[in-house]
Homo-oligomer: A and B are copies of this chain.
């Protein structure tokens, strides 16, 4: 099928951290975004709001958005808990009736909603639930540690620190060096970008590792470096289980630690719920290496900082400090380029290739 052109719903939130799916679609697949719906910012452009995204228009109503010729509606926010805001149902129903497909990364499955399903049938449209788990679920057993490819997992001090972004930037950087790399998406936005994957946070808990393992095994058949999108954080009181399941299922030989440089408390970007202090980065490195090592050894080989809310000199200082504190290559891959991380991953891949070739010889 032809790639969709999206009208992206980000009502009341475009440009904030809850509009991650919308923002990432514009950053990584702007050619697929016809317009953004957010009545607060109607009349502006993506460039005005985000500082990138060019002339993609922000509109104030569904009708205005449809005038830009989308073929699909994308639910472009990822609210805590993943529920569908009640007032958006009307837009989704109207879009379906006009024959637009609807893509959603919410926990609420639109396809399970009898009314929306009926509207979709009436309009000849389809509902894509990016978070729907695969039908075949398995339990992981460390098989991913045995692949020839170098498996690299991004891990974080918190949610929403740039774990997907770091991998997409690494993918580009490795490709430009001629390294055969593949991106494994484990969240709804990553799936939108990659065109496949599994939203592991919506998988029944017993099967998070198994779903990840299956993705890694498949990707490793076609690549020398497998870049797995991480989720959550081992030190996050709400999502740590997802993170550990993903870590043991992916069984990565290498990890990249992702951190938003200005953040001090876990979940600080959610209102009123933050109380766990983020430890020094060197301590977080130790935590991930220990937890990985309970099943299969792994090393953190670089730090990806997110400095979007810092001035340029503060951002550069944060990168320098992260490198000094951890003794690892560090960068903000969006702001300063992924170079140091690309070097680190390419070197680790070469070391693994030689070690495995040596073992076979």
Interface residues in chain A, defined as those with a beta carbon under 8 Å from any beta carbon in chain B = 80-82, 107, 137-142, 200-206, 208-210, 234-235, 237-246, 248-249, 251, 267, 273, 275-276, 287, 290-291, 294-296
Contacts and interface: CB of A to CB of B under 8 A. Distances in A.
A249 B267 CA distance: 15
Given A205-B245, A241-B248, A276-B294, 16 more contacts: A107-B137, A107-B204, A107-B206, A141-B238, A141-B267, A142-B276, A200-B205, A206-B242, A234-B244, A235-B294, A237-B249, A240-B244, A240-B294, A241-B242, A287-B294, A290-B290
17 contacts: A81-B138, A142-B237, A201-B206, A203-B205, A204-B204, A205-B205, A205-B241, A206-B238, A206-B239, A208-B241, A209-B241, A210-B238, A241-B243, A276-B294, A287-B290, A290-B290, A291-B291
Contacts of A205: 200-205, 208, 241-242, 245
Contacts of A242: 205-206, 241, 245
Contacts of A234: 244, 291, 294
Nearest to A144: B237
Contacts of A240: 209, 244-245, 248, 294-295
Nearest to A200: B205
Contact of A238 (B81, B139, B296): B139
Contact of A204 (B202, B235, B267): B202
Nearest to A238: B139
A295 to B, nearest CB: 5
Contacts of A246: 241
A142 B138 CA distance: 30
Nearest to A267: B141
A115 B280 CA distance: 56
Contacts of A140: 237-238
B245 A141 contact: no
Contacts of A295: 235, 237, 240, 276
Given A208-B205, A275-B142, A241 B238 contact: no
Nearest to A81: B139
- Select the residue from A204, A205, A249 with max chain B CB neighbours within 10 A: A205
A295 B276 CA distance: 7
